[in-house]
């Protein structure tokens, strides 16, 4: 329900959706827009031309466009994030007081749900925000990364860490040993996450089984874990289950396995293929061969599970660039991807301390510039061919620096 009105001589719009409350004070030059989940947490904010997004861990990223239309971002220090939250809360409080006092005119009355969220937003003060972020850290091991279309998922850490942890460009789970959670432990985790999200669960769209390689769990362990998800959450309403799978040299899942997982709501698996070039994968210390990735994708699709294939732009610098483009095109074209699938182009961003940087130094690699990385993605995309019957997968950028949960 969208309610228009005015407040302090400015147009006011209050949107009460089943999953969030959005308040917009529209000064034509400078709109202030704040969205909150049903637990009262700030979700997004926009003012003075900068948009903000608060993660469940309390961290906040600011994004804006430069005069040259370049995208910029900055992670706010805690005190700045608190100021943004305070501004959002105070705006909601002032509007709520004005509505009650008859000093804000609304075309129709605010529904009950809207009143409840206003009260929760106002109650979600700095202390509650800090406590909420602290609770996140009790419920979760920090969520390292998600595919961009899964940032609004309910993450459930069925496993922790990565079963390979070998890739020289990846530092997401270096200090987190891989383990599969016990059934009772995972059930307690799933319940704790539900409790933590509270009414904010309505803002979440899917279930994401974390961490990096949940699907590596053998089927006799994995199926009961998926049953736990169903016991605690309405998977159908949330839009199904999603997960990463990386590295295919260990136990391989069959078409029948994927059928069984699809029957339990698995919708899409995200695979960090990185490249279709075997030599580059060796250089990256990636625990899979292109042929294994292609076979795994074919098994998933035959089992009724869609895929998201992630390609690492700039990997291997100029030394590998030609083969990276050609072999990645070949590999993706061999996967028979369709309209339910996604191809993500993710630029390589590595710190100097990573094993990749050391290997690149020893190999005297010349890195690709940002423009060359983009051009590499375009060259790969130009070579992709999809069937008319299957349709074209969604092709998108994946900037890991923007990840927020
Ligand atoms: S398999 Fe994936 S999560 Fe594991 S180290 Fe490699 S890139 Fe990182």
Query: What is the spatial distance between Cα 192 and Cα 186, in angstroms, rounded to a whole number?
Result: 10
34 near 23, Cβ under 8 Å? yes
Please state the pTM of the whole predicted model.
0.95
Instruction: Report the pLDDT value the prediction gives residue 361, as an integer from 0 to 100.
Output: 94
Res 349 pLDDT > 60 = yes
Q: Count the residues in the chain.
A: 405
Tell me yes or no: is domain 140-402 CATH 3.20.20.70.
Answer: yes
Average pLDDT, the chain: 95
- The stretch 186-204 carries a mean pLDDT of 98
Among 8, 30, 28, smallest CA distance to 97 is for 8
pLDDT on residue 27:
80
Is any atom of ligand 1 closer than 6 Å to the C-beta of 129? Answer: no
Measure 246 CA to ligand 1 centroid, in angstroms.
6
Q: Please state the rounded mean pLDDT for residues 42-61.
A: 96
Q: How many CA atoms lie within 13 A of 78 on its CB side?
A: 7
Task: Count each helix (H run) and each strand (E run) in the chain, helices first.
Answer: 12, 18
Domain ranges of the chain: 2-125, 140-402
Å from CA of 96 to ligand 1 middle: 47
Confidence band, pLDDT 50/70/90 cuts, at residue 249: low
Q: Token match 């590998």: residue?
A: 320
Question: Over the range 21-50, which residues count as b (16 or more CB within 10 Å of their CB) and which as e?
Answer: bbbbbeeeeebbbbbbbbbbbbbebbbeee
* Angle value at C-alpha 396, between 390 and 400, nearest 5 degrees: 140
Least confident residue range of 46-60, 165-179, 241-255, 377-391: 241-255
User: Exposed (0-12), middle (13-18) or buried (19+): which is 194, by Cβ within 10 Å?
Assistant: middle
- Compute the average pLDDT of residues 266-290: 96
- Answer yes or no: is the C-beta of 288 below 6 A from any ligand 1 atom: no
Runs of H (alpha helix) within 110-245: 112-123, 126-139, 183-197, 219-232, 235-238
| CB 212 less than 6 A from any atom of ligand 1 | yes
Section 159-171 average pLDDT? 92
Return the higher-pLDDT residue of 12 and 246: 12
Give 243 Cα–ligand 1 centroid separation in angstroms.
13
Rounded mean pLDDT, 248-276: 92
Is 80 exceeded by the pLDDT of residue 34? Answer: yes
CA-wise closest residue to 341 among 390, 388, 274, 303: 390
Q: Range with the lowest mean pLDDT among 68-72, 91-95, 240-244, 274-278?
A: 68-72
| Ligand 1 binding pocket mutation candidate from 141, 177, 212 (most atoms within 8 A of CB) | 212
Q: Is the pLDDT of residue 250 over 60?
A: no
């Amino acid at each position: 329900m969208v309610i228009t009105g005015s407040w302090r001589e400015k147009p006011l719009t209050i949107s009460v959706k089943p999953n969030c409350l959005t308040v917009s004070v529209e000064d034509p030059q400078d709109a202030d827009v704040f969205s909150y989940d049903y637990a009262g947490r700030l979700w997004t904010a926009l003012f003075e031309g900068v948009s903000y997004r608060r993660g469940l861990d309390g961290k906040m990223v600011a994004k804006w466009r430069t005069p040259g239309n370049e995208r910029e971002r900055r992670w706010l220090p805690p005190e700045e994030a608190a100021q943004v939250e305070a501004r959002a809360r105070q705006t909601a409080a002032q509007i709520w007081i004005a509505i009650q006092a008859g000093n804000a005119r609304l075309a129709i009355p605010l529904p009950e749900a809207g009143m409840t969220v206003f009260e929760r937003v106002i109650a979600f003060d700095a202390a509650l925000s800090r406590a909420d972020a602290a609770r996140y850290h009790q419920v979760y091991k920090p969520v390292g990364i998600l595919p961009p279309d899964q940032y609004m998922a309910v993450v459930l850490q069925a496993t922790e860490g990565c079963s390979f942890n070998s890739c020289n460009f990846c530092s997401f789970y270096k200090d987190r040993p891989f383990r599969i959670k016990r059934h009772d432990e995972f059930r307690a985790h799933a319940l704790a996450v539900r409790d933590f999200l509270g009414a904010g669960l309505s803002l979440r769209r899917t279930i994401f089984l974390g961490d990096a390689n949940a699907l590596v769990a053998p089927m006799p362990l994995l199926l009961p874990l998926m049953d736990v998800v169903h016991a605690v959450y309405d998977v159908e309403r949330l839009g199904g289950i999603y997960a990463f799978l990386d590295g295919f040299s260990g136990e391989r899942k069959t078409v029948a396995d994927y059928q069984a997982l699809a029957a339990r709501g698995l919708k899409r698996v995200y695979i960090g293929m990185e490249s279709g070039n075997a030599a580059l994968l060796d250089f990256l210390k990636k625990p899979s061969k292109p042929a294994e990735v292609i076979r795994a994708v074919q098994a998933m699709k035959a089992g009724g599970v869609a895929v998201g294939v992630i390609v690492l732009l700039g990997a291997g610098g100029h030394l590998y660039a030609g083969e990276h483009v050609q072999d990645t095109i070949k590999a993706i074209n061999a996967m028979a991807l369709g309209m339910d699938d996604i191809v993500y182009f993710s630029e390589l961003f590595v710190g100097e301390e990573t094993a990749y940087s050391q290997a690149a130094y020893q190999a005297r690699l010349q890195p690709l510039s940002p423009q060359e990385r983009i051009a590499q993605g375009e060259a790969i995309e130009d070579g992709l061919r999809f069937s008319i019957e299957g349709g074209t997968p969604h092709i998108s950028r994946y900037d890991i620096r923007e990840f927020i949960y």
